[in-house]
Structure 1
Amino acid sequence: MSSAYGIIPKPVSNISLDTILPISKTLRNGTKATLQQVDPNNQALVSVLRHLVNYEINMGSTYPQEHELDEEGFTSYFLAYDSFVLVKDDPIVPGKEYDMHDKVLGCFYVKPNYPGRCSHIANGGFFVSTVHRGFGAGIAMGESFPQIASALGYQASVFNLVFQNNEASIKIWRRLGFKEAGRIPKAGRLENSPGKLVDAIIFYKDFTEQNEETDVDK
């Protein structure tokens, strides 16, 4: 994927994701969930994931993009590196038909935040299904993110733009031990804050530090 730094190679990893995936989760409402890697050849799944991403973009309050992503743009943005989906019940099986709008709980990508000498620092983007919000899908994915990113060869993570009025995301990252590394004043003009520019918090987590236990509702 092209960025301000050009094309960024991923770090080298000696761990196969097959050794940790799929990951089983239980949401707050008792729903059984499974985290698995996105199959980019599953067009029904990819279509639903693009819908989720474009919904957030159109809402204009959590991501900086102003225009929907077409198929090529979505592939470049979300699928170019490593992407994962949280689904209800058992993993998606190739060739089997599903109601993907009901099956998909959320999704996220993992990619380098910086190039070259700093490519050990990851970035992630998270999206929760519009019909499955409020049940803990976001925190279930957030819990798995350090394990997934570490397996991919990253040693830390930076979230560049968590807008200060995105209370749900801020609550998740604080509960999961991410540190507030800085703040970008007047970072975004958002639909939920008309007439003003909104600050953004930069969240950081070092995956090499021993994880502290947190009291997290599943």
Structure 2
Amino acid sequence: MAYHIKSKKSVVKLPYLPFSATIKDGTDVLLDSYRDEHEQKVYEILKHIVNVEGDSYPQEDMTNIEDFRAYYLTLDVFVCLEKTSKEVLGAFYIKPNFPGRCSHICNAGFIVKVSARGRGVGNFMAEMYLRLAKDLGYRASFFNLVFVTNEASVRLWRKLGFKEIGRVPNVGNLKGKGYTDALQFYYDFTA
């Protein structure tokens, strides 16, 4: 690891959470701060994405819940819940992409439950991310590794006005896809 970012929860309270909305398919959802009661559901979603799909996160294995906690729960985490049942449809974290003097630039990791994909959950979370990250005090967002084969993600960041600032050739050896390029996206919250 090139550097270490200290884990700590944000002290900023976001008074508009939980935030209620209706997504593309007509489902009423809530975006709220992660709580311990969400752990198993969020873990299961990420474990499926990493271990079964293997084509959108760089990790090769997520079978240990301690690895999940150390990676995903180190700073601010938010969940998208179906409003009535409180079913976890997706989640994302927001944390500094770099340490110290560069910690004003954040990164995020989004996950959507397989059965909730294509319904607007990812789009809703991405739009909320733009608001939340800015309100948490970040000045910009930088996504290091958006694999070119993750077409839904690439389309979403372009649609939301992220600038494509780089391409890393053959960076990911993805399950079923082999060596794959990744795009890098940047968004300036101060503009």
Q: Tell me if both proteins adopt one fold, taking TM over 0.5 as the criterion.
A: yes
1:27 maps to 2:23: yes
**Counterpart of 1:212?**
none
Cα distance in 2 for residues equivalent to 1:151 and 1:23: 14
Cα distance in 2 for residues equivalent to 1:10 and 1:201: 28
The normalised TM-score by structure 2 is: 0.93
Counterpart secondary structure, 1:208: coil
2:9–2:74 CA contact under 8 A, matched in 1:
no
1:168 maps to 2:152: yes
What is the Cα deviation at residue 54 of structure 1? 0.8
Residue type at the aligned position of 2:78 = F
Cα distance in 1 for residues equivalent to 2:62 and 2:7: 26
**Counterpart of 1:46?**
39
> What number of residue pairs does the alignment pair up?
190
2:29–2:82 CA contact under 8 A, matched in 1:
yes
What is the Cα deviation at residue 11 of structure 1? 10
**Counterpart of 2:81?**
87
Change (3 A) 1:12 1:22: closer
**Counterpart of 2:49?**
56
Residue type at the aligned position of 2:121 = A
1:118-197 pair list within 5 angstroms: 118-194=102-178, 197=179
Cα distance in 1 for residues equivalent to 2:45 and 2:9: 28
**Counterpart of 1:203?**
185
What is the Cα deviation at residue 130 of structure 1? 1.2
Aligned CA RMSD, in angstroms, stands at: 1.8
What is the Cα deviation at residue 8 of structure 1? 3.2
What is the Cα deviation at residue 74 of structure 1? 1.2
Residue type at the aligned position of 1:167 = E
Cα distance in 2 for residues equivalent to 1:10 and 1:159: 21
Counterpart secondary structure, 1:146: helix
The normalised TM-score by structure 1 is: 0.82
What are structure 1's unaligned runs of at least 5 residues? Answer: 91-97, 210-218
**Counterpart of 1:214?**
none
Whose RCO is larger (CA < 8 A, sep 6+)? 1
What is the Cα deviation at residue 39 of structure 1? 0.6
Q: Which of the two has higher C-alpha Rg?
A: 1
Cα distance in 2 for residues equivalent to 1:16 and 1:52: 26
Cα distance in 2 for residues equivalent to 1:158 and 1:83: 17
What is the Cα deviation at residue 69 of structure 1? 4.2
